[in-house]
Amino acid sequence: MKSKIISIALLATLLLGMTATIVPIHAAIADVEFYVDPAMNSFNYPATAVGSTFNVIVWFSDALPLAAIFSWQITLNYNATVLNCTSATQAIGDSQYLFYGMSTVAPLASFSLGSVQIMDSLYSGTASGLLKKLARFTFEIMLAPEKYETLSSDLSIDNTDTFWGDDATPMNYYDPIRTDGAYELIWTAPPNPHLEVTPPPSGLIFGPGPCVGQLFDVDVTLVDIDEAWALHNVSFRLTYNDALIMVSQYAIGPFWINPTFDNTTTSGLIDVFVEAPSAPGADKLIITITFRIIHQNTSPDPEETSPLALSDIVVWDTLQEIPTDDPVDSLVTVRAFIPFTPPHFEVSSPTLGPSPVPVGTLFDVTVSVKELNALAYFIGYDFRLSYDAAVITPVSASEGPFLPYYAALEPGSLGTWWAYWFEPDMFGPNVLVGNIIYPNSSGLWYYPFPEGDGVVATITFRCDVEQSYGETGFSSYLNIVEQDWVGIDNPDGAQNIVDVPHLDAVNGTFTLTVDWPGRMVDLYTQYPAPFGGQGLNMPSDMFWPQKQVELYANVTYNYWPVQQKDVAFEVRDPHGTLVTIQVARTDADGVAHTWYRIPWPCDHPEYLFGVWTVTATVDIACIVVNDTMQFHFDYLVEIFKVTTDKFQVNHYECFNVIIEYGSHAQQEYPVVIQAILYDNLNVPVAQGYVETTVGGTVFCQYKNNTVIIPLCIPKYAFAGIANIYVNAYSALPTQGGSAWTPTYGLTNPFGYVWPIGSTVPQIAIQPR
């Protein structure tokens, strides 16, 4: 065993560089190798930047093993221009270290430009093994490659200053097999850019209105260009259909310099070249080209298209061509001219709920024609209406009034053909509907042709799902998935069946809503829904003088009736004056009922005309809920104005009485409007009446109308100024009718007229 002093002396001799005087002897007892791991340290720039570090390990390998190692030394040489070794340490502390767990000298590494030397020696004993670590080296990257360049360096240990020694006296030194490593930093190309035409592939669509002369812009943009490319110039070709569109003008993007633009050398081709003043990044607009539409077919000829296709794309930097990805082209479509706005179908969107809806409830879906022009010479259609069979089921379908109305106007009409089928499979569950106007007996169609809007079909569905309160509702699409519109090409001669251009349908949705409303009171009157104010804060239809108002309050909790509850009803007139407060108790159905008759005071009772307000309140489990309902109080018929078309008439001559009237009624009521003429001696000499109806308005609006009643002057009428009296009745008195309103303009016993400011119209009967 060699002494500790001898071992240290030997190591000191190595540190002093005296190994050059010793002639290494190749080992004969072991195939020992020192090698660098990883063998290749390859990195990409700029993903790996200057200042980044990496590690290598030099390993000891003995295939047998037979060597008895007492000391080792490694000198690693590298390219100091591209790398710098910042650290070199023995693998002490690593269980794979050759001298792990043994006492060693472990001196610090020695650094010089492009070289590092490290060694270790035992105090005593030897070590061996199949595969062991010796030293760890850390390198810092010092230089970045230029474009298309690769920087490299050997990590070389293949030199005479890399060896190992045994524990002989004097010590023997051996050359191992030395296997170098390597480093490279490769400039990596960024992602490829590409050219793109905007609008995108879906393109631009023009028509079916007139398009010739219309201008539109098209952009060509260089997309996703990385500054690392240091792009210098771009050139490309854009092709288009020169029979459909032409170039009107162009504008180069603001970034580029020295552009060239050529669209005259070859018709339908545009060649563009631009240079970059500096390295561009991100997206850069190259050019905006303004085109003009120069041609458009007329329906029923087909639409025409112009692809906007990029080709011959060349992108350069200062050294070589830059690769590009496939370009994104576009398309211009010019639809055939239609001399009218194309019609379309519109599907209604019914809603059931949120109040309870029993399973099996029926509801209607209407399909309507919209914006149909008579110039379409439309005669029929078919469509498929798809739906969600898990939610609803079709029960029946009926023909809408639109086509039958026009069929009846056709000379020699034979009516319409109507049919429908429930289709379970094709296009998914759907209702197939077809309808056409028959030609007349000569096999031709004549004016008038359908136009405007109207319902063409009503389809009755059954709701198949049950409401489950507290959960979300249900819905079903109501989509027209296929449609055909049929017309003729010539209304005045030989006729051919043609397609009628049309737009996409406006589809509908069925919705079954679900809600937990909690406490509710719904105040309404005796009129049927929806005219009685059914629903929260909904108005009721009007009332007229001395009519009794029946008040109802439906008290529920989550739609279930709450019985034996006292409901307060407060009534106020249009001026806010309290008229009455009443209390009624709910019955087994949760409905409380009371009533009052509207006052009709002796002095100017019309003072009470206007909007009355009723409020109902009820306490449900210590919380008060309310509903408010309003209604109009007025004469059922108001006569606004009475005029004549003449100021004077002769005997045996006729004139017209023009009566303008209106009503606040939402429901329809019969009315007889009468005009009667009293001559100068108060003899009724002429009268006439019109039977009609009033109503159909909405809350807070009059629905107005005008009637004309002719009156003729008999011979026995006394000449002079005659008065015209106008009245409105529910029916003639002999038929049980009564007056709806006072006589227009007549002063009543209380000294005023109605309407305020009106006067009895007069006409002069001439003595001729």
What CA–CA distances, in Å, run from 260 to 44, 250, 274, 355, 752?
37, 11, 7, 71, 90
Whether 194-334 and 345-512 share one fold: the answer is: yes
C-alpha–C-alpha distance, residues 594 and 583, integer Å: 8
- The residues, any chain, with a CB within 8 Å of residue 613's CB and separated by 6 or more, are 571, 572, 628, 629, 630
- Bridge partners of residue 423, in order along the sequence: 430
**pLDDT above 90 coverage of the chain, percent:** 76
Mean pLDDT over residues 624-641, rounded? 97
536 vs 413 pLDDT, higher one: 536
In DSSP notation, 79-145 reads: -TTTEEEEEEEE-TT-TTBTTTTS-B--PPPEEETTEEEEEEEBSSS-B--SEEEEEEEEEEE--PP
Per-residue pLDDT band at 468 (split at 50, 70, 90): confident
Any idea which fold 345-512 has?
A: Immunoglobulin-like (2.60.40)
Distance of CA 639 to the CA centre of its chain: 50
Q: pTM for the full model? A: 0.48
Tell me the longest C-alpha to C-alpha distance in the chain: 167
- Backbone phi, then psi, for 26, in 5-degree steps? -65, 135
- In the block, which residue shows the tokens 């009157």? 525
pLDDT digits (tens, 9 = 90+) for 8-24: 434 434 443 433 333 34
pLDDT tens per residue across span 354-369: 888 899 999 999 999 9
18-32, 185-199, 424-438, 545-559, range with the lowest pLDDT = 18-32
pLDDT score, position 201: 61
**Scanning the structure block, which residue is given the tokens 């018709």?**
267
Enumerate residues 6+ apart whose C-beta is below 8 A from 449: 374, 376, 377, 378, 379, 406, 491
The confidence band for 442, taking pLDDT boundaries of 50, 70 and 90, is: confident
pLDDT tens, 313-337?
999 988 889 999 999 999 999 988 8
The DSSP result for 231-248, as a single string, is --EEEEEEE--TTTEEEE
| Residue 303 reports pLDDT greater than 90 | no
Give the closest residue to 107 by CA, choosing from 35, 203, 7.
7
Name residue, tokens 């000379």: 411
DSSP 4: H
pLDDT tier at 30 (50, 70, 90 boundaries)? Answer: low
What stretches of 232-339 adopt beta strand conformation (E)?
233-239, 245-252, 257-262, 269-275, 282-293, 304-316, 330-334
User: Which residues lie across from 669 on neighbouring strands?
Assistant: 694
CATH architecture of 4-187: Sandwich (2.60)
Give the pLDDT mean for 569-586.
97
Report the distance separating Cα 96 and Cα 542, nearest Å. 101
pLDDT tens figures, 377-414: 999 999 999 999 999 999 999 999 999 999 998 888 88
- The whole-angstrom distance between residue 292's C-alpha and the CA centroid of its chain comes to 31
**pLDDT for the residue numbered 9:** 37
Q: Which positions ≥6 away from 339 have C-beta within 8 Å?
A: 298, 375
CATH number (3.40.50.10190, 2.60.40.10, 3.90.1150.10, 2.130.10.10) of 638-765 reads 2.60.40.10
Per-residue pLDDT at 3: 32
Residue 301 has pLDDT above 90, yes or no: no
Residue 207 has a pLDDT of: 79
Per residue in 163-208, pLDDT tens? 999 887 778 889 999 999 999 999 988 899 999 998 866 688 887 7
Contacts of the segment 752-758: beta carbons below 8 A, 24+ positions apart: 752/604, 754/606, 755/638, 755/639, 755/640
Question: What ranges do the domains of the chain cover?
Answer: 4-187, 194-334, 345-512, 519-633, 638-765
What does the pLDDT read at residue 200?
65
Q: What mean pLDDT is predicted for residues 436-453? A: 90
Euclidean distance between CA atoms 601 and 586, whole angstroms: 32
- Options 3.30.450.40, 2.60.40.680, 3.40.50.2000, 2.60.110.10; CATH for 194-334 is 2.60.40.680
pLDDT in tens, 585-626: 999 999 999 999 999 999 899 999 999 999 999 999 999 999
Q: What is the pLDDT of residue 375?
A: 85
How big is the CA angle at 735 (ends 734 and 736), to the nearest 5 degrees? 95
Rounded CA separation 146/158 (Å): 30
- AA letter at 376: A
Contact call for residues 110 and 74 (beta carbons, < 8 A): no
Q: Which CATH number fits domain 519-633: 2.60.40.1930, 2.60.120.10, 3.30.420.40, 3.30.70.980?
A: 2.60.40.1930
Between CA 93 and CA 101, with CA 96 as vertex, the angle to 5 degrees is: 50
The tokens for 19 are 């190994």
